[in-house]
Amino acid sequence: MMGTYKAHTDIPITQAKAKELGKWLGQYRIRLSGLSVWQITEEGKRIRDDAMADTIKSTAGSAASATVTSGPAAPLLGPLVALLSPAALLAMAAAIPALIAAQNKLRKEAGPQVRGHTIVATEIEFGLADVSAKRRKWSEYLLSIYAALHKWTLAGLQYPEQAAIGAAYAARTGGYPPPWSTAGRSSRPSRRTSGGALRALRDLW
């Protein structure tokens, strides 16, 4: 797949960590494509973990849905929203968790069994969906911060310089830029804020 990224961690991710990652992706509206999770055994065997991938995707969707009807996300719903009553919209939203849970159950039953193996590492492969060049650069910057804070290696960057910039931000702050999606604000840093770091962020746009 063109533009494929690979994140590697020597600390195997758990369901809790997968949910944490999914929530983080949703907060920053980073949309992944072709997501797959591979658990690496002590023998070097790669086992595809569809259940873990489903956890990341479903949690990312849940985090993003909180702002789906506000700001620039509203047009994505199209004319469907205008045709549905509030009660119908609530019923549709209420049905989504059950559908996701049913899908995850099927994937867990049908997918390869990770139990019984000693897992020593995890690899996550993915692409970025619906991104402009500037948005890709910004997303790679954020992903580099996440990788640095969690001691992951991240391969496949189309803007390799973002790895060093993101790592420097992580080392300096120990955290992430404020997630604009939950605050309902513009994703661009304020032009009233001074400082080289924020000027660099603005340049990503």
At 58-74, the pLDDT tens digits run: 999 865 544 333 333 33
Mean pLDDT of 26-30: 93
Selected residue with higher pLDDT from 73 and 49: 49
Mean per-residue pLDDT, 170-180: 91
Give me the residues paired with residue 41 across strands.
Answer: 119
pLDDT band at 181 (very low <50, low <70, confident <90, very high): low
Higher-scoring residue by pLDDT: 139, 83: 139
Q: Of 25, 53, 24, 27, nearest to 38 (Cα)?
A: 53
- Quick check: 154 and 162 in contact, CB under 8 A? no
Q: Calculate helix-pair angle for 196-203, 161-173, nearest 10 degrees.
A: 140
49-63, 90-104, 123-137, 186-200: which range is least confident on average? Answer: 186-200
The CA distance from 93 to 171, in Å, is 39
Asked which of 2-16, 43-57, 97-111, 136-150 is least confident by mean pLDDT, the reply is 97-111
